[in-house]
Structure 1
Amino acid sequence: MPELSALTDATTALLIELIRTPSFSREEGPTADLLVDFLRRHGAAPQRAGHNVWARNRHFDPAKPTILLNSHHDTVKPGASWTYDPFGAVLVGEQLIGLGSNDAGASAVSLLATFLHFQERADLAFNLICAITAEEEISGTGGIRSILPQLGRLDLGIVGEPTQMQLAVAEKGLVVLDCVAHGRSGHAARDEGENALYKAVDDISWLRSYQFPETSPLLGPVKMTVTQVQAGSQHNVVPDRCSFVVDVRTNECYSNEQVVATLRQHMQSEVTPRSTHLNSSGIAPQHPLVQRALALGRQTFGSATLSDQAVLPFATVKIGPGDSARSHTPDEYILLSELRAGIEGYINLLEGFSF
């Protein structure tokens, strides 16, 4: 079993390599190469499909329950406001600055360290699969969903995302709606046509004021936000079409399909969901892992942000080093102390754990 200090040093070096290697969604091949090489050098037997990399513990026993350790190695693209090189992996005091350092490189390498810590152990009450996957930032079909059939039965998932090592026991779902209001064009100077923009405004006004009756104690209400509107071709023509986009964050009280059905009942506009598979997720408060986290002094909360939890069809929690508020921001960073605490926190969560 590797020493914790050696694991921390090795995974910090890996994180620096990952930051210095661009890995935008669907372009993660070079960082997948790094992950395969890292696991091989540390005695694991990695497997790869596309840009997804995973490994099983040495004494994997199909009769035991299996825990998935999962995080992602893709990043968003850096904005123009960065003052440091996004791929520089610059160390300023305790801050390791670079794109993907916080979201979710620190979680990914901490989970890898945890896996290596346990991989040779024959006395575990569970199996471990560590999967560092692609396309999380775009909820892409080439990410974790694409390899689930190859992973076999999974009984529990620990999803690594920046939560300050507190335990997210529920997560809001997401459905993006493309809406179109239809009218009839006419001259703006005369009482002609049927203004699609006005129809859209009526629907948008309803969306602003409507509240779904059921509110989650952890996740709060369903939240609907209009984020884009487009209508009209010139100043003197009544628009016959107005399109708008709605970002809907769902709680566990409603499936995405139920939310879409409710909106279609109340709105004049056509409502088309881009997908409905990113439902809210959660875990029972009585689950042994939740109880263990509480015993270790972790706080539980409901998360408003989306992760690969949404596509994992079994009990999951979300926990990891770093702060969600830094994600997708200029000069994103992770503290070295947070990285060490992440590795220790994951190991403490699993040491002696049983279902």
Structure 2
Amino acid sequence: MTVRELTRDLVSIPSYEDETAAGDYIEEWLRRETDADVTRDAVGNVIARKGTGEETLALVGHHDVVEPAPSQVVETEAGSNGTNTETATALEYAVDERNGRLYGRGTADMKGAVAAAMLAFRDGDVTRPSSSAAQSDDAEPSGELVFASFVGEEVGGVGARHAIDDGFAPEYAIVGEGSTDYSGPDVTDVVVAHKGRRGSTITARGTAAHASEAAAGENAIYRATAAVDRVRDLEVPSVDVAGETLAGSLVVTEIEGGSGINVVPDRCEVTVDERTVPGERAPLERVADLEGVEWTVDQDLPPMRCDDERFAETVLEAADAAQSGSPKLVTKPHATDAGWLAAAGTECVICGPSEPGEAHTEDESVSIAVLERCLEIYRRAVASWLER
């Protein structure tokens, strides 16, 4: 089976809100095509392991997707529904191939990378000749190789967090999120850092009063705007990684308050989108020092940075050998499951076929040639890591 064929199969399986069928396919394929120890955990993550050793390398992806557009869903016949007059139907995701690309929900984000990782995992040889002359014909494990496809990445890393809490702790991981066309056209790079995202709410409370007697109340909107001014004055951190400056950001994105044109408002809420960088965060908690103001964190997706230069260079060398372009170590603006893994102690890089602007779109697609390239990168990276 080629990476193109495997990607088509995976993409056709609906996995928005319910990833069960896609997980079933991945699990069954791994059991059929490999002799690995394959497990399915309580939330639906599929994890396969082979080999043993002091260190583990994981090929990591996710098989959930965002909601498909109507054009990305097709209705197919599912056989008889038990009557002679009607035929049951089933929903599949549409997969279209044209101009050297596969189109469909999940092609770029990220079932194409999952397919490449499955094949690279199958092909990875985790044994090497014994160092003992007396056992020169024997082989011994050269390390543990792991494949993991998580659920719930698109809704805050549900699967990755569950796996980590359950003991998933590889020393190294290649996460197959997008890294293509970052340094230049038709180049698949290696991401060594990305931003995180912290979403929070500022709630200002006051005392309602009739607007004709404004002094009798405490205006919650005024308190909220004081908090907004404080947010605007905060210094946003940045960090230099791989010759690039990864800069955080802090943006007020929504405001809601008031109940009538003639009422002093007693409540106002402001939402803040913060893009975090490894090592530092803006001191947003300072807004809670203001009278009548509370600050709560709604979502906190961690950033990622690879601090193991040897591992990053190993994957970069594999990427360089697998393509005619000259890949680089780069940074990425989007949070991924690599952030959760890095926060738990795994050294991560990101390398995958998706290009900027492809994920989550109505015409999402992936290059077949780049899928084949990523498969070769993963194969080379695994071989180099096992031979270290």
TM-score interval for Structure 1 and Structure 2 normalised by the shorter chain: 0.7 to 0.9
Letter in 2 for 1:298: P
TM-score normalized with structure 2 length:
0.79
SS in structure 1 at match of 2:146: strand
Question: Residue 216 in 1 paired to residue 239 in 2?
Answer: yes
SS in structure 1 at match of 2:313: helix
State which of 184, 187, 199 in structure 1 corresponds to 2:210.
187
How far apart are 1:206 and its partner, in Å?
3.1
Q: Deviations over 1:16-50 (max 9, x none)?
A: 2222221114x111110111111122124421113
Q: 1:198 to 1:79 in 2, by over 3 A?
A: farther
What is aligned with 1:289? Answer: 311
Letter in 1 for 2:336: S
What is aligned with 2:22? Answer: 31
Gaps of 5+ in 1: 1-5
Identical aligned pairs, as a percentage?
25
Q: 1:240 to 1:263 in 2, by over 3 A?
A: closer
Using the alignment, how far apart are the partners of 1:266 and 1:190 within structure 2? 24
What is aligned with 2:153? Answer: 136
Using the alignment, how far apart are the partners of 1:320 and 1:158 within structure 2? 9
Using the alignment, how far apart are the partners of 1:298 and 1:188 within structure 2? 62
State which of 144, 154, 161 in structure 1 corresponds to 2:170.
154
SS in structure 2 at match of 1:216: strand
Using the alignment, how far apart are the partners of 2:290 and 2:329 within structure 1? 36
State which of 291, 301, 311 in structure 1 corresponds to 2:330.
301
State which of 50, 55, 66 in structure 2 corresponds to 1:76.
66
SS in structure 1 at match of 2:380: helix
State which of 116, 127, 148 in structure 2 corresponds to 1:110.
116
What is aligned with 1:203? Answer: 227
Contact 1:180-1:243 within 8 A present in 2 as well: yes
Contact 1:181-1:243 within 8 A present in 2 as well: yes
Using the alignment, how far apart are the partners of 2:144 and 2:207 within structure 1? 62
Question: Residue 51 in 1 paired to residue 75 in 2?
Answer: no
Question: Residue 279 in 1 paired to residue 302 in 2?
Answer: yes
SS in structure 1 at match of 2:247: coil
Gaps of 5+ in 2: 75-91, 130-140, 181-187, 321-325
Q: 1:75 to 1:271 in 2, by over 3 A?
A: same
Q: 1:115 to 1:83 in 2, by over 3 A?
A: closer
SS in structure 2 at match of 1:51: coil
Using the alignment, how far apart are the partners of 1:146 and 1:71 within structure 2? 14
How far apart are 1:169 and its partner, in Å?
0.6
Using the alignment, how far apart are the partners of 2:64 and 2:291 within structure 1? 37
How far apart are 1:153 and its partner, in Å?
4.6
Q: 1:29 to 1:66 in 2, by over 3 A?
A: same
Using the alignment, how far apart are the partners of 1:293 and 1:55 within structure 2? 21
Q: 1:92 to 1:266 in 2, by over 3 A?
A: farther
**Greater CA radius of gyration, 1 or 2?**
2
Contact 1:197-1:242 within 8 A present in 2 as well: yes
SS in structure 2 at match of 1:326: coil
Letter in 2 for 1:52: N
Aligned residues: 336
Letter in 2 for 1:54: I
Q: 1:55 to 1:28 in 2, by over 3 A?
A: same
Contact 2:126-2:143 within 8 A present in 1 as well: no
State which of 350, 368, 376 in structure 2 corresponds to 1:344.
376
